[in-house]
Amino acid sequence: MRPSETSVDIKEVSWTSLKDLIPYLFEFKLRIFLALLCLVAAKLASVGLPFILKDIVDQLNGKAEVAGFSNSIISEPLVLLPLALLLAYGVVRFSNVLFGELRDTLFGRVTERAMRRIGYKVFAHLHSLDLAFHLNRRTGGLSREIERGVQGISFLMRFMIFNIIPTFLEIGMVIGLLAWKYDNGFALIVLFSVIAYVGFSVLATELRTKFVREANAAESRSSTRSVDSLLNFETVKYFTNESFESEHYDKELASWEVAKRRNRLTLFGLNGGQSLIIAVATTSAMILAASNVVDKNMTLGDFVLINALMMQIFVPLNFLGFVYREMKGSMANIEAMFALLKVQPAVVDSDNAKPLALKSGSIEFKDVDFAYHPDRNILNGVSFNLPAKQKLAIVGSSGSGKSTIMKLLFRFYDIQSGSILIDGQNIKDITQESLRRAIGVVPQDTVLFNTSIYENIRYGDVNASDEAIWAAIRMAHLDDFIKLLPERENTMVGERGLKLSGGEKQRVAIARTILKRPPIIVFDEATSSLDSRSEQSILRAIDEIAVNHTSLVIAHRLSTIIDADSIIVLDQGKIVEQGKHTELLLKNAKYAQMWKIQQEQREHKQD
């Protein structure tokens, strides 16, 4: 399964996902066993109630006839009341409710723990997937799939174990008792009506499943569209495309509306058919029971018992139709969520991967070839060496492969050929976690969490002390800016940091990286959003923290890297020049040409 499959289109709902759920349920084996005991006890009490009611009716009816009150037993002396049976009826009815509540309470924790474990596993798995998956994902739809999947587990566990299984257990008990104590006709009516009801429900629900799936898909698309549009609301406003976005969103909602309308119409047919089967079965049983009472083969209590049993069977069976429909939807949602767990990352640690044994922090690229797509190479035979505690700058035109080098160093992708070494260790042979712990980055496009400035900086080292965090703030020259804010360091930055300017966001990113204190630091156009004055102050901060660090600088402004120990010039994925600033100017080639153009642009701005 490849990264583009971020939304799972399930053609047929399979029940095999139940096997994936089983391991999560057995953390509390004793609770499950006790819950099942309560389930059986509740059903025994439920089936026993009509029989106690029969005996009560027969005794009351018999005593009333003996006393000469054929139509009323109200004036019969209190001693004629079947008190023991009435008390037993109350105790059994209470036991039915009590055991049901105990069952729900015992199994509730099992279900909640399973939801927690699976939700955590899916979340952790998504973070383990490679960059390609996340570049192709649809955040809104993905979040809805996870939410529906976790809620589907809750519904499936609760209703399958506490409704479907108990209902069929009760039906089996009733059929057996009717065949044993009464005319086989009652047992056959119940048996055939149940078979007809279940068969019709399954067939109709299978036909309806595609409409449920269409509604879910439309909901995911509309959610994705709304999230994507709102996250990029500035772009929407820049191009005055509010109406376009609203119309596009409404188009997705229209698809959802059509699917829901079809779903509702088929639901009408399903409910109507189920009600007809129940009415025919109940009426048939009552006619047969009434005939037996008239023929004196059954008592009035037996008639009441048959009526009570039919109601007792078909009330949960009627609910079973709803449960089955919802279970089908839940299974579709669970499958979609488990399908995410089956997506395998393209970049994985090798079986013998070891933690990075960092010594000095030197970096070496050896004949590296890389392509995002087979038909277009991005890097072609790139080789360079960055000694420990030195600064290497990479420059070049857009699309030359500068940022790709940073992504490969982080091992967001695996290269097609060649090798990347840190302190002589191939990054393919070390764990990704230890590799990324050793590297800090200040990206060109800084994305912040929707929390405070302070918490965004602390993300660089969640265990850092307040003193260390404030030291990083000062080194990034953020302290003066923070003092001007009404809530100071507790100021919220907004969704993706939209309340801050580009330069302010980059300072936060620099402070966050300073706090991490990695031995290797990558600056990806780290000052691109700053004015000249801010740029100089940030460059001084970068120089301060880079003294004892290996620094890889991806630069657009050549004036920011003139002090680099070495500069690489990339062009169409190849290194065309390498040397110090002055050396490259003397060559009067690609770098000198870029320098000349930028100097002319700078002079033009000053004029």
* Token pair belonging to 561: 């890297």
Where are any strands of DSSP class E within 26-158?
Answer: none
The separation between the first and the last C-alpha atoms of the chain, rounded to the nearest angstrom, is 57
Mean pLDDT, range 406-426, rounded to an integer: 87
Per-residue pLDDT reduced to its tens digit, 50-95? 777 777 776 776 644 444 444 443 444 444 566 777 787 788 778 7
Residue 379 bridge partners (DSSP): 370
Residues β-bridged to residue 520: 439, 550
Q: What is the mean pLDDT of residues 500-527?
A: 78
pLDDT tens for each residue of 90-118? 887 787 788 877 877 777 777 777 777 77
Summarize the confidence of residues 214-228 as an average pLDDT: 77
pLDDT classification of 15: cutoffs 50, 70, 90? low
C-alpha closest to that of 454 among 395, 511, 398:
511
pLDDT at 225 over 80: no
Helix %, strand %, coil % of the chain (to 5): 65, 10, 25
- Contacting residues for 160 by C-beta, under 8 A, at least 6 apart: 323, 327
Distance CA 554, CA 568 (A): 10
Task: Evaluate if residue 23 carries a pLDDT over 80.
Answer: no
Q: What is the mean pLDDT of the chain?
A: 76
Given a contact cutoff of 8 angstroms between Cβ atoms, the answer to whether 303 and 293 are in contact is yes
120 token code pair: 């955590």
Reduced to 3 states (helix: H, G, I; strand: E, B; else coil), residue 365 is strand
Question: What pLDDT, on a 0 to 100 scale, did the predictor assign at position 590?
Answer: 87
- Is 523 or 154 the better-scoring residue by pLDDT? 523
Of 458 and 142, more confident: 458
What is the identity of the amino acid at 169? Answer: L
How far is it, in rounded angstroms, from Cα 405 to Cα 577?
16
pTM of the model: 0.60
For residue 607, pLDDT beyond 70: no
pLDDT band at 533 (very low <50, low <70, confident <90, very high): low
Q: Which amino acid does the sequence have at 479?
A: D
Q: What is the pLDDT of residues 570-597, one digit of tens each?
A: 888 888 888 888 888 888 888 888 888 8
The one-letter code for the residue type at 495 is: E
CB 517 within 8 A of CB 544: no
CA distance 91 to 327: 34
Give me the mean pLDDT over the 491-515 stretch. Answer: 72
Higher pLDDT, 171 or 602: 171
Q: What long-range pairs does 588-595 form, CB within 8 A, spacing at least 24?
A: 591/395, 591/558, 591/567, 594/395, 594/558, 594/569, 595/558
> Which residue has better confidence, 137 or 67?
137
Measure Cα distances from 173 to 40, 178, 192, 359, 465 in Å. Answer: 11, 9, 15, 74, 66
What was the pLDDT predicted at 135?
59
Handedness of CA 340, 345, 346, 351 (dihedral sign): negative
User: Residue 367: pLDDT above 80?
Assistant: yes
Task: State the Cα–Cα distance between residues 413 and 132, nearest whole angstrom.
Answer: 8
Among 101-115, 116-130, 138-152, 434-448, the range of highest mean pLDDT: 434-448
- Report whether pLDDT(169) > 80: no
**pLDDT of the residue at 3:** 34
Domains of the chain: 17-341 (1.20.1560.10), 359-438+523-529+554-607 (3.40.50.300)
Is the model's pLDDT at 476 over the cut of 60?
Answer: yes
Instruction: Give how far Cα 539 sits from Cα of 394, 403, 443, Å.
Output: 16, 20, 15
Cα–Cα dist 592/587, whole Å: 7
**CA quadruple 188, 194, 200, 202: dihedral sign:** negative
Distant-in-sequence, close-in-space partners of 61: CB < 8 Å, separation ≥ 6: 299, 300, 301
Per the model's pLDDT, the better-predicted residue between 153 and 606 turns out to be 153
For 464-480, what is the mean pLDDT? 80
Say yes or no to pLDDT of 253 above 50: yes
pLDDT value at residue 574: 87
- Where would I find the beta strands (DSSP E) of 141-250? none
384-393, 458-467, 530-539: least confidently modelled range: 530-539
Percent of the chain scored above 70 by pLDDT? 79
Name the band, by pLDDT with cuts 50, 70 and 90, for residue 322: low
Q: Tens of pLDDT along 236-247?
A: 777 777 888 788
Residue 561 pLDDT > 80, yes or no? yes
Buried-exposed string 110-137: b where 16+ CB fall within 10 A, e elsewhere: bbeebbeebbeebeeebeebbbbbeeeb
Average pLDDT for 23-28: 70
Q: Is the pLDDT of residue 566 over 80?
A: yes
Kindly report which listed range (99-103, 283-287, 497-501) carries the lowest average pLDDT score. Answer: 497-501
Q: What is the CA radius of gyration of the chain?
A: 36
Q: Is the pLDDT of residue 12 over 70?
A: no
Give Cα separations from 443 to 128, 323, 440, 447, 462 (angstroms): 21, 50, 10, 9, 20
Distance CA 471, CA 463 (A): 15
Q: What is the mean pLDDT of residues 256-270?
A: 79
Q: Is the pLDDT of residue 9 over 60?
A: no
Is residue 565 predicted with pLDDT exceeding 60?
yes
